[in-house]
Chains A and B, each alone.
Chain A
Amino acid sequence: DVKVTQSSRYLVKRTGEKVFLECVQDMDHENMFWYRQDPGLGLRLIYFSYDVKMKEKGDIPEGYSVSREKKERFSLILESASTNQTSMYLCASSGRGRGANTEAFFGQGTRLTVV
């Protein structure tokens, strides 16, 4: 069974803390994505990566950075957490090739609360 695993289901952090959200996939996928989801705003893409050490900005990258040192792992970093980053964070991965890269598999999400 394919799997995208996010390190935490729930997380509470203080304003100003550096926060790491980890995502691991076991499908040998080239593409990995980080989204945040807020009520009424749908899923918004923060960053994505199409290969190891490669990263591309999504639609809302401000306040975030990412790291992809290994193919299976994609980390989202909040350098200095703020309350407006309280949200559900979703990681996804997809393969390469016609049709495959738009069939994404999602993790269960991390609900982050910044206080």
Chain B
Amino acid sequence: LAKTTQPISMDSYEGQEVNITCSHNNIATNDYITWYQQFPSQGPRFIIQGYKTKVTNEVASLFIPADRKSSTLSLPRVSLSDTAVYYCLVAFTGGGNKLTFGTGTQLKVEL
């Protein structure tokens, strides 16, 4: 399974755009990139998933360059409630397989 590397922590202010980058140098052809969000005392929650180029939903955007060795989660105009841990996963989506989370990125949003 592809290993991922992401910053341990990031700080931001309300209203700013936050970009969290994840490195996955040995991503395989059939792997997808998935991001999760976790608030304290809760289980992680799926945010967004993509294979290449750009994916956007009501919560975030995911940018994936052509070589797919990294990806960037973009959170537009963050608020205090976006303070959470964000996890990047790389996994094959075609069948049963283990989903391995890393240590994630602790995002802290301040006023």
Contacts and interface: CB of A to CB of B under 8 A. Distances in A.
Given A40-B103, A50-B96, A58-B98, A102 B91 contact: yes
Interface stretch (A13-21, A30-38, A71-79): A30-38
Interface residues of B toward A: which range?
20 to 34
Contacts, number: 81
Interface string A62-104: 0000000000000000000000000000101010111111111
Interface residues of A toward B: which range?
35 or more
Contacts of A59: 100
Interface stretch (B18-26, B40-48, B59-67): B40-48
Nearest to B41: A109
Given A103-B46, A108-B42, A109-B42, A35 B101 contact: yes
A22 interface: no
Contacts of B43: 4, 90, 92, 106-109
B99 A45 contact: yes
B89 interface: yes
Given A99-B49, A101-B97, A108-B43, A42 B91 contact: no
Contact of A101 (B42, B44, B96): B96
B98 A103 contact: no
A28 interface: no
Given A42-B104, A43-B44, A103 B97 contact: no
